[in-house]
Amino acid sequence: MIQYFEENRIGRDWVIGDIHGMFSLLESTLDDIGFNPKHDRLFCTGDLIDRGHESIRVLEFLREPWFFSVRGNHDIMPIRALRALLVNDEIPLLEWKAMGGEWFDDHSLTEVIEVAQALMDLPMLIEIKSANGVIGITHGEPKIGLSWPQVKFHLENGCHLTLLDILWGRHRIEALLGDYEQARELSKTRIDQWSIQGIDHLVLGHTVIPHWFRLGNIHYIDTGACHECGCLTLIDISHPGFLHHRGLSHHESLDYSGVFGDPSDLAFLNGQNSDVIHATCV
pLDDT digits (tens, 9 = 90+) for 78-122: 998 888 888 888 888 888 888 898 898 899 989 999 999 999 999
Within 8 A by CB and 6+ apart from 1, the residues are 123, 124, 125, 155, 156
- Residue, of 264 and 12, whose pLDDT is higher: 12
SS (H, E, C) the chain: CEEEECCCCCCCEEEECCCCCCHHHHHHHHHHHCCCCCCCEEEECCCCCCCCCCHHHHHHHHCCCCEEECCCCHHHHHHHHHHHHCCCCCHHHHHHHHCCHHHHHHCCHHHHHHHHHHHHCCCCEEEEEECCEEEEECCCCCCCCCCHHHHHHHHHCCCHHHHHHHHHCCHHHHHHHCCCHHHHHHCCCCHHHHCCCCCCEEEECCCECCCCEEECCEEECCCCCCCCCCCEEEEECCCCCHHHCCEEEECCCCCCCCCEECHHHHCCECCECCHHHHCECC
Span 156-168, mean pLDDT? Answer: 94
pLDDT above 90 coverage of the chain, percent: 50
pLDDT for the residue 268: 32
Can you tell me the distance from the alpha carbon of 90 to that of 83, in angstroms, rounded to the nearest whole number? 10
Asked which of 21-30, 62-71, 236-245, 263-272 is least confident by mean pLDDT, the reply is 263-272
Confidence of residue 124 (pLDDT cuts 50, 70, 90): very high
- Residue, of 18 and 269, whose pLDDT is higher: 18
Span 157-174, mean pLDDT? Answer: 91
Confidence of residue 1 (pLDDT cuts 50, 70, 90): confident
pLDDT at residue 143 greater than cutoff 70: yes
Span 181-187, mean pLDDT? Answer: 56
pLDDT for the residue 26: 93
pLDDT for the residue 241: 77
Span 158-172, mean pLDDT? Answer: 92
Asked whether 146 and 166 are in contact (CB, 8 A), the reply is no
Neighbouring CB atoms inside 10 A of 252's CB total: 13
pLDDT at residue 250 greater than cutoff 50: yes
Asked whether 139 and 111 are in contact (CB, 8 A), the reply is no
Confidence of residue 133 (pLDDT cuts 50, 70, 90): very high
Can you tell me the distance from the alpha carbon of 6 to that of 149, in angstroms, rounded to the nearest whole number? 18
What is the pTM assigned to this prediction? 0.85
Neighbouring CB atoms inside 10 A of 220's CB total: 28
* Closest of 203, 170, 251 to residue 17, by C-alpha: 203
What is the rounded average pLDDT for all residues in the chain? 82
- Residue, of 193 and 115, whose pLDDT is higher: 115
pLDDT at residue 256 greater than cutoff 70: no
pLDDT for the residue 257: 26
Can you tell me the distance from the alpha carbon of 58 to that of 134, in angstroms, rounded to the nearest whole number? 27
Confidence of residue 186 (pLDDT cuts 50, 70, 90): low
